[in-house]
Each structure stands twice: as structure tokens, then as C-alpha cells.
A and B are shown apart, each in its own frame.
Chain A
Amino acid sequence: MVTDLNTAIWNTLAAFLTFCIFSFLYKDNPFYKIAEHIVVGVSAGYFAVILYWNGLVPKLWNPVVKQGKWYYLIPGLLGLIMWTRFSKKYAWISRFSISFYMGIATGVAVPLYMQNFVIRQLSSTMLPVHFKNSVGFFNLLIIVGVLCALIYFFFSKEHKGAMGSAARVGIWTLMVGFGAGFGLTVMGRVSLLIDRVIFLKNYFTSIFGHIL
């Protein structure tokens, strides 16, 4: 594999940092700490720049300066007074911008969460139950599983008798769900690991391929 000098230098840096992070498998060490602190600085800088160019400029600068929408100065001012958090004397002023943020965010969240997380899930659970084929029976299992898992989370009544049995079925259902989540997470992480190993293999092939 042939690669140009510029890419080779960048890949060497990426490979070095990859090894720095992998060194944590042995124990916490200065190489890991270097990579960890670099990524904190780089990611903070990256997201600040991206938020400025893709957020602040189109949402605040352009409307005010280019489109003459002066009312956009209000959220800008509210954003600026967030900085009073640094003063012990004037920190209370920042509550006004936080309260606007909280009010709008929570107000939007109420119907949104109810619609997407409660009503949609409940309507999707209302499945036809029959015993003509396995689908109808599996639908029954889904309905029972959802109800029992919800009963497990219901703490206003003691989990005894019928409630206790339902809660037990509920926790079994939840454990299957957590197991599936665990398995999928492991697979995702192993995929990332394979990707890093392939990257290192390609890197070494590109650098030392002609020697080996």
C-alpha cells in the first residue's frame, strides 16, 4: 500500500495516540493521560468552533446583521447574561436566561415525550391476539411482557401475591431486554476494536509494507 508523506505523518500520529489509549489496558500511565488531556482540549475547541460557525452565526449574527431582525438580540442578550455566573454578586441574573431555557425546553418536552414515548409505545402494544399462528401468540407475550415490566416499576403497592408474580415475570422480561442490550453493546464495542486493529494493520502495511 502506497501513501503520501502528509497522510503517513497524520496516520503515524493517529497510530501513536491509538497505542497511548490502548496502554491503559496495562495500567493508568502518562501516555494515556497525554492522549486523554489532548482529546479534552481538541474536542472542546472543535465543538466551540463548530457551534460558532454552524450555530451562532446562522442563528444570531446573520439574522441581526444581514436580515435586520433586531429581536434576535434578545436571546443574544440572554445568552450573554449567562456569563454573570462567574460573579458571586450578580450570579442570580443568569437565572433569567436559565429560566427561559428551562421553560421552553420543558414546555416542548411535555407533549413530545407523551407523544413519542408513552402514547406511541402504548398504541404499538395494542396488538391483535389470536391463536391461528405464532404471531398472535407472540403478540400476547409482548402485551404480557410490557404489562408485567410496568408492574415491576410500580412501587405504590407491595409486590405480593398476583402483583409479586407479575413483577417477577416483569423482571425476567427486563433481564432479557438488558441481556439483548448488553450483547448488542459488546458487539458494537468489538466492532470498534476490530476497526482500530484494522487501522493499525493498514498503517504498518503502508509504512513497512515494502520492507516486510
Chain B
Amino acid sequence: MRRQLPILIVFVSGVFMVIQYFIPHESFEFIYEYAMDWIIIIGIFAMLLGLWSLTRASVSKVQAKAPGWGFSVMTLVGLATMLFLGFYKGNKSIAEGTFFMDLFWYIYTPIQATMFSLLAFYIASAAYRSFRVRTVLATILLVTALIIMLRLIPLGPISGVNQWLASWILTVPNMAAKRAIWIGVGLGATATALKIIFGIERAYMGKD
């Protein structure tokens, strides 16, 4: 029961959701909408599970005075502050201009944007390392990247040529490569989904 019933549930619900896609009837549309709500609700509870897990890990680190426990205090303070501010005025707490949203715009957004912008520095060193490999493939990659990056920069008489070349790269070989990758992703995802529906892939159940 512990393993067979979940596999049966996956099979029945999975096959049903595949079949309903091909039946354009309003009762199936209702079931589809309801099923979508189901997984959103279950997903939200799973996210809360993650929140509890983060809290527990941080609290136990603080209690054990583990190395860097002070940083975990920062995490807990940030979390508690957001939770308090997000609930104390009901659903008005998340309106624009509230303290809750100010914390989002002036703490979360600048940190995230700066973290992503750091990649500009590391990506340059990655490009240098791949250039040192000196293979045909690495050269193709870097030359293409260089043409794409320079397309918005005025290059005098060769600007027109570079822009045409960048546009050609994006619409011909890049398009071909991306299409092949998307087809591969689509087939891979479909195969994995079918493996789960038919009970071949069971890693989601964890261990007994």
C-alpha cells in the first residue's frame, strides 16, 4: 500500500490528464481547472514545508553556536520581519508603498540585481579560460559571442557588416541550434513524464 497506491494514483491521474487534453468538453475543462488548483495548493504547502525546513536549520545552527551562526540570525531576522509585516495588516500588508514592499524593493531587489551583475566579471574570466583551450569549437563559440556582443556598438565602417552578421547568426545557425535543443528538451521531458506515469521512475517517492 505504501508504494503501490501512490504509483496507481500517479498512473490514473497522469493518464487522465493526458486524455482530457484531447477531449474538448466543458466538463473536462472544469476538471482541468480544478486539477490545476489542486497542484497549486499542494505546491504552496510544499513551499511552506521548505520555509519550515529553513527555519529549523537556521535555529539549530544558532542553538549549536555553529561557525557562522550570527549569519543565520540575519536570515531568521529577515524572515521573521517579512512574515510579520506581510500579515499584520491583513491583505493590505502587501500593497505598494507598505513597509513590506519597501523591504522588497530596497533589500531584495538590489541584492539580487547585484548578485546577477557579478556574473559579468566571472563570465569574462570564463571566456578567457575557454580561449586558452585553443580548439576549433572554443574559437567558434567565442567569435560568435564577440560578434553578438559588438552588434550594438558603433564600429565605424564595419558596423553594418557586423550587424548583418549578428542578425544572420541569430536567425540562421542559432535558430537551428536552439530548435534542435528544444526538440531534445521536449522529447526528454515527455519521456521522463511517461516514465513517471508508468511507474518506471519512482525517485519522487523517496526511500522507505
Contact = CB atoms under 8 A, between A and B. Distances in A.
B145 A180 contact: yes
A72 interface: yes
Given A42-B108, A49-B94, A17 B173 contact: no
Contact of B185 (A108, A117, A172, A176): A117
A185 B116 CA distance: 11
B144 to A, nearest CB: 3
Contacts of A102: 10, 14, 196, 204
Contacts of B124: 186
B131 to A, nearest CB: 12
Most buried by A among B15, B74, B86, B143: B74
Nearest to B115: A21
Interface stretch (A90-98, A156-164, A204-212): A90-98
Contacts of B75: 37-38, 40-41, 44
A155 B25 CA distance: 42
Interface in A28-70: 33-53, 55-57, 59-60, 63
A193 B119 CA distance: 9
B180 A180 contact: no
B154 interface: no
A37 B72 contact: yes
Given A111-B21, A183-B146, A145 B172 contact: yes
Given A41-B74, A176-B173, A150 B183 contact: yes
Given A45-B80, A100-B38, A110-B190, A39 B112 contact: yes
Contacts of B147: 183
Nearest to B192: A106
A173 B180 contact: yes
Interface in A61-118: 63, 72, 74-76, 78-80, 82-83, 85-86, 91-92, 95-114, 116-118
A189 interface: yes
A138 B13 contact: no
Contacts of B123: 182, 185-186, 189
A192 B168 CA distance: 26
Given A118-B183, A174-B180, A82 B42 contact: yes
B45 A150 contact: no
A97 B123 CA distance: 41
Nearest to A76: B41
Interface residues of A, number: 115
A75 B185 CA distance: 30
Contacts of A185: 119, 123
Interface in A1-34: 10-11, 13-15, 17-18, 20-22, 24-25, 33-34
A44 B54 contact: yes
A145 B17 contact: no
A22 B186 contact: no
Interface string B191-208: 001101100000011101
24 contacts: A13-B106, A38-B77, A40-B78, A41-B81, A45-B79, A50-B86, A50-B94, A60-B41, A78-B45, A79-B46, A82-B42, A95-B2, A98-B205, A103-B10, A108-B35, A110-B18, A118-B186, A138-B168, A150-B184, A172-B140, A173-B177, A179-B141, A186-B124, A196-B117
Interface of A: 10-11, 13-15, 17-18, 20-22, 24-25, 33-53, 55-57, 59-60, 63, 72, 74-76, 78-80, 82-83, 85-86, 91-92, 95-114, 116-118, 121-122, 124-125, 138, 141-146, 149-150, 152-153, 170-187, 189-190, 192-193, 195-196, 199
Given A82-B45, A145-B172, A195-B113, 15 more contacts: A21-B118, A48-B48, A56-B44, A96-B5, A99-B9, A107-B193, A108-B17, A116-B186, A117-B185, A145-B175, A176-B174, A176-B177, A183-B146, A187-B152, A196-B114
Report, nearest first, the 4 A-B pairs whose CB atoms are least far apart.
Answer: A177-B177, A107-B17, A45-B82, A117-B186
